[in-house]
């Protein structure tokens, strides 16, 4: 059976490769052959090699009613999944999982694995209790599925990151008694299976997770005894040896690592510190640019293709706006964000789809 009647297979496949990711569910519903093609790993390798993929940023963002301009008067903001395409400037929303129709768990974590978005933990918006829930949204089917809950006791403010191939790593945070944790886990998205990893050497509450150069890195955080006093060190987990190693004085200063981001093998790592955007050059942290006043309270930083996207506000409850910074020139420009997409961004991740 031909992919497209009357066309050679390579030409037909080239047509499908050019389809936008928003149309994947529609294309897959046309026939079994097209669905099989869309879901094939080779299809996505060809999309990447022919540069037909698109970088998008998925975010857990507070809903702002158009015309209100801020979230100052909202006691318990409702969080949704927003998707931003820097290349086109398009913003859109993803419906929440059926279990959270009234909004996503506050302080949940968000990571991407291929064409899947994984939402982990947070405070259940119905009971306000810490949750170990896992929900996975697939861009190919535009459907949610429930994953196996994180094992062990409930944890909050943990670090997590993905190797982008199939595994999500989780480490640190605190338990229901606000005791900082050293424990770590790994989740295989395709098999829906959790594995307990060796503990870190130190407790790390509110640490930031990144996957860099083949290792999962838990950056900063603080132990139970010094709650709120962040450390400058980090610990890196090597999946090949299943062991942790400490990196002392990794950060420029003892600060919350929420805005820490890895720009990739050739770009280095970045952090918002005070009113500056700083970069690690060699072994030294250096100022890259001053933050514009309207985003001096940065809530999220995303990195891709030599570009940093910063989202923040001028103060508590004010509208959140986005800026793009070129890593090499250090120049920044404001990005347009329509009404309804100017709320606080709790977390986010970058996908290539």
Average confidence (pLDDT) over 123-127: 83
Residue 263 lies in a domain: yes
Q: What is the pLDDT of residues 27-62, one digit of tens each?
A: 989 989 989 988 888 888 899 899 889 999 999 999
Q: What is the pLDDT of residues 310-321, one digit of tens each?
A: 999 999 889 999
121 and 261: one domain?
A: yes
More confident residue, 316 or 81: 81
Query: How high does pLDDT run on average in the chain?
Result: 92
pLDDT of residue 71: 54
Q: Rounded to an integer, what distance in angstroms lies between the CA atom of residue 50 and that of residue 45?
A: 9
Residue 276 lies in a domain: yes
**Beta-carbon contacts of residue 56 (< 8 Å; ≥ 6 apart):** 21, 83, 84, 85, 86, 350, 351, 353
Average confidence (pLDDT) over 204-233: 96
Q: Rounded to an integer, what distance in angstroms lies between the CA atom of residue 173 and that of residue 180?
A: 6
Question: Which CATH number goes with the domain that contains 248?
Answer: 2.120.10.80
**Beta-carbon contacts of residue 71 (< 8 Å; ≥ 6 apart):** 62, 64, 77, 317, 343, 344
Query: Would the pLDDT of 90 be above 70?
Result: yes
Share of the chain above pLDDT 90, in %: 73
Residue 4 lies in a domain: no
Other CB atoms closer than 10 Å to residue 14's CB: what's the count? 14
Count: domains in the chain: 2
Domain span holding position 256 = 54-352
More confident residue, 303 or 66: 303
- The structure's pTM equals 0.93
Residue 330 lies in a domain: yes
Residue 3 lies in a domain: no
69 confidence band (pLDDT: 50, 70, 90):
low
Q: What order do you get walking across the sheet with 269-273 strand by strand?
A: 261-262, 269-273, 276-281, 284-290
Q: What order do you get walking across the sheet with 345-352 strand by strand?
A: 90-94, 79-85, 55-62, 345-352
Other CB atoms closer than 10 Å to residue 10's CB: what's the count? 8
């Amino acid at each position: 059976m031909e992919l497209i009647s009357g066309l050679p297979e390579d030409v037909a496949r080239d047509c499908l490769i050019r389809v936008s990711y928003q149309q994947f569910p529609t294309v897959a519903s046309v026939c079994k052959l097209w669905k099989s093609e869309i879901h094939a790993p080779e299809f996505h390798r060809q999309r990447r090699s022919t540069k037909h993929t698109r970088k998008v940023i998925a975010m857990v963002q507070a809903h702002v009613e158009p015309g209100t301009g801020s979230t100052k008067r909202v006691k318990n903001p409702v969080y949704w999944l927003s998707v931003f395409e820097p290349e086109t400037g398009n913003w859109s929303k993803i419906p929440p999982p059926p279990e959270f129709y009234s909004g996503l768990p506050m302080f949940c974590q968000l990571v991407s694995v291929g064409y899947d978005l994984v939402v982990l933990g947070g405070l259940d918006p119905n009971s306000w209790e810490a949750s170990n829930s896992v929900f996975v949204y697939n861009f190919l089917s535009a459907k949610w599925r429930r994953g196996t809950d994180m094992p062990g006791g409930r944890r909050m403010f943990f670090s997590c990151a993905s190797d982008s191939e199939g595994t999500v790593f989780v480490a640190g945070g605190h338990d229901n008694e606000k005791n900082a944790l050293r424990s770590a886990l790994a989740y295989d998205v395709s098999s829906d299976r959790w594995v307990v990893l060796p503990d870190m050497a130190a407790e790390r509450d509110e640490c930031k997770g990144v996957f860099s150069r083949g290792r999962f890195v838990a950056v900063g955080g603080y132990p139970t005894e010094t709650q709120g006093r962040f450390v400058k060190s980090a610990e890196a987990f090597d999946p090949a040896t299943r062991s942790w190693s400490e990196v002392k004085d990794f950060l420029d200063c003892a600060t919350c690592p929420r805005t820490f981001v890895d720009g990739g093998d050739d770009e280095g790592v970045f952090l918002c510190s005070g009113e500056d955007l700083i970069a690690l050059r060699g072994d030294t942290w250096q100022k890259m640019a001053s933050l514009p006043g309207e985003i001096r309270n940065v809530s999220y930083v995303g990195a891709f293709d030599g570009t940093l996207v910063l989202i923040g506000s001028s103060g508590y409850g004010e509208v959140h706006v986005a800026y793009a910074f070129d890593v090499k020139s250090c120049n920044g420009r404001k990005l347009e964000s329509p009404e309804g997409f100017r709320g606080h961004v709790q977390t986010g991740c970058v996908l290539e789809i």
